[in-house]
Chains A and B, each alone.
Chain A
C-alpha cells in the first residue's frame, strides 16, 4: 500500500514538473497557434540566467524572477524582429523558431561554455510522509506549478485581458473587427510565453544539470502535453497532457523497462492525437 502511495506521489511530482515546463508553450502554441520550436532554448536560457545570477551573488528567488524577465525580454525582441511578420504562416514560424533554437543554443555555448553548470538547491532536505520521502524543493515547485496554472486560468477567464485573448482564440477576424489590437495582443502573449518558459527553466535548474541541451529534453514532450491536453486549455489541458506524457511513463516503467515505457508513451500519444485531434479536453470547434 505504501508503495502504491509512493508511485502516486512520484507520478504527481513528475506530472507537475512537466506541466511547469510546458506552460510557456501552452500559452504560445495554445493561444496564438505559434509552433514555438524555440521553447526548449527559452527553458535553457532561463536555467543559465539563474546560474549566472547565483554566481553574481543574487538570492535564488531574485535570480529566478530576473531570469523570467530576461527571457521574456528576449522573447519580446524576437517577436518584434522576426515572429510578428509570420503569424499567418505557421510553417514559417515553426522553421524560424527552430532557427532561433539553433542560434540561441550556439550562443549559449559561446557565452557560458559547455561545462556542466550547477545551481544549488535552495531547499535541501526531504519531507517524510510515513515511509515516503519527498524532496522538499520538488514539492515546493510542484505546489507553485498548481498556483501558477490556476493563476493563468484566472487571468484568462476573469480579466479583460483574458477576455480579449479568448476572443482572439475563438475568432481572429471578428476580434479585429471588434477593434482589438490583435498585433499587440499577439506580442503580449508571445512575450508572456517566453517569460513563462524562462521561469520554468529557472525553477527546474536546481533539479537538473545545466548544459546547453537541457531544454531539448522537454521540447517534444511539451508539444505533446499541449496538443494532448487541448489547445487553449491552459489549466486542465496542461495537467492532463502532462499526466499522460510524464505520469504514465512512471506507471509503464513499473511493468517494463524505462526505454520501452518511453516508446509506449510516444506511440500512445500518436494514437490519442489521431482519435482526439483537438486534445482530450479540447472542444470540437476545429
Chain B
C-alpha cells in the first residue's frame, strides 16, 4: 500500500518535471517571436551555461561526484572549436571542430577519470584534483599562446550550418543562433535524462547511495564513474564550443577556478539532483547576476554569496527540493 503511494508520488513528480520542462522549452521557443534585441542575443549564452550546469548535475546529483573542474572542459571546447575553425578543411570546419571538442573532452575526462577512480580517489580529494585541473587548464591556455592567443584570448566566427552545398543556415544573426542553441540544449537534456533513466543511470544512482554494495554486486564502480565523468566532460565541452562560437571570443579565465566555482553555485542553489533544476539554475542565476550587476555593481557578489550560504544551510536540495514541499504546504492548508 505505502509502496504504491510512494510510487505514485514519484510518478507525479516525474510528470511534474516533464510539464515544467515542456513549459520552459515552449517559453524559450516563443521568446524570439515576441521580442528581439538583447534578450534574444544573451539567452543562448545562458542556455549554454544551463547545459554546463547539467553536466555538473549529472555528476554531482546522480553519482555523488563534485567537480570544480567543469570550466576546464568548457574552455577546452571553446578553444578546440576556435583552433580547428582556423584551419582550411574540405568539410565544414565547424563540424570538425565540434567533433574534436566532444571527442577530446571525453577522452581527457576518461583518462583522468580512470587514472583516479581506479585508485579510489574520491570525495574531497577528487574535488581537489578537479580544482587543479581548472588551474592547469587556465595555465595552458595562457602559456600556449601560439595556439590559444594566450591571455589576450582567441576569436571565433559564428559558424554556418551546411548540408552539402545546397543548404546553408547561417548563425550570424541572433534568432537563428538562438534556435540552434535551443535545439542542442533540448536534445542534450533529453539524452542526459534518458541516460539517468537507463540501466546505466540506475547503476550510477546505486553508486551514489552505496559504493560498496555495488562493488559486491559485481559492478565496476571505477568504470561507471569514468564513463559518467567522460559524458559530463563532453557535454561541458560541447556547451563551451557553442559558447565560444556564440560570443565570438574565448579567453583563459573561462577555464579558471572562479568560473568553475560559479557553476557549482548555480547548481547548488537550483538543486543538484535534478537535471532540469540545474538547467534552470544555470539560466536564471546568471541572468540574475547580470541584472544585479547592472543595478548595483558593487554589491552583486555579496548578494550571491549570502544567497548561496542560505540555500546550502537551509535548503540542502536547493530550490528544486524546497519548492515542492512549500507548494505542498500551501495545498494542504488552503
Residues of A within 8 A of B (CB): 35, 82, 85-86, 90-92, 94-96, 98-100, 102-103, 105-107, 109-110, 220, 223-224, 227, 257, 259-260, 262-263, 266-267, 269-270, 273-275, 277
Say whether, besides A96-B313, A102-B301, A107-B302, A223 and B121 are in contact (CB < 8 Å).
no
Residues of B within 8 A of A (CB): 66, 115-116, 119-121, 123-125, 127-129, 131-133, 135-136, 139-140, 142-143, 257, 261, 264, 268, 298-299, 301-302, 304-306, 308-309, 312-313, 316
Q: Which partner residue on chain A sits nearest B262 by CB separation?
A: A102
Say whether, besides A92-B316, A99-B308, A273-B121, A223 and B128 are in contact (CB < 8 Å).
yes
Residues on the A chain within 8 Å of B127, using CB: 35, 94
Q: Which partner residue on chain B sits nearest A85 by CB separation?
A: B313
Say whether, besides A263-B140, A273-B121, A99 and B128 are in contact (CB < 8 Å).
no
Q: Which of A259, A263, A277 is B121 in contact with, Cβ under 8 Å? A: A277
Q: Which partner residue on chain A sits nearest B139 by CB separation?
A: A263
What are 30 A-B pairs at a CB distance below 8 A?
Answer: A82-B309, A85-B313, A86-B313, A90-B124, A92-B312, A94-B66, A94-B124, A95-B264, A96-B312, A96-B313, A98-B261, A99-B308, A100-B309, A103-B309, A105-B301, A106-B301, A109-B298, A110-B299, A220-B128, A220-B257, A223-B128, A227-B125, A262-B139, A266-B132, A267-B136, A273-B116, A273-B128, A273-B129, A274-B116, A275-B119
| A238 shortest CB reach to chain B, Å | 16
Report yes or no: A103 in contact with B123, Cβ–Cβ below 8 A.
no
| Alpha-carbon distance A90/B133, docked complex (angstroms) | 21
| B72 shortest CB reach to chain A, Å | 12
**Other A-B pairs beyond A91-B66, A103-B309, A110-B302, 17, CB < 8 Å:** A91-B123, A95-B268, A98-B261, A98-B308, A99-B308, A100-B309, A105-B301, A106-B302, A257-B143, A259-B143, A262-B135, A269-B132, A270-B116, A270-B129, A270-B132, A274-B116, A277-B119
Q: Which of A85, A260, A266, A273 is B135 in contact with, Cβ under 8 Å? A: A266
Residues on the A chain within 8 Å of B304, using CB: 102
Report yes or no: B143 in contact with A263, Cβ–Cβ below 8 A.
yes
Report yes or no: B132 in contact with A103, Cβ–Cβ below 8 A.
no
Q: Which of B139, B264, B305 is A259 in contact with, Cβ under 8 Å? A: B139
Residues on the A chain within 8 Å of B129, using CB: 270, 273
| Alpha-carbon distance A270/B131, docked complex (angstroms) | 10
| A137 shortest CB reach to chain B, Å | 29
| A83 shortest CB reach to chain B, Å | 10
| Alpha-carbon distance A96/B307, docked complex (angstroms) | 11
Q: Which of B142, B257, B305 is A102 in contact with, Cβ under 8 Å? A: B305
| Alpha-carbon distance A57/B288, docked complex (angstroms) | 43
| A26 shortest CB reach to chain B, Å | 14
| Alpha-carbon distance A90/B128, docked complex (angstroms) | 13
Residues on the A chain within 8 Å of B312, using CB: 92, 95-96, 99
Residues on the A chain within 8 Å of B140, using CB: 263
| B148 shortest CB reach to chain A, Å | 12
| Alpha-carbon distance A224/B135, docked complex (angstroms) | 13
| Alpha-carbon distance A86/B135, docked complex (angstroms) | 28
| B32 shortest CB reach to chain A, Å | 34
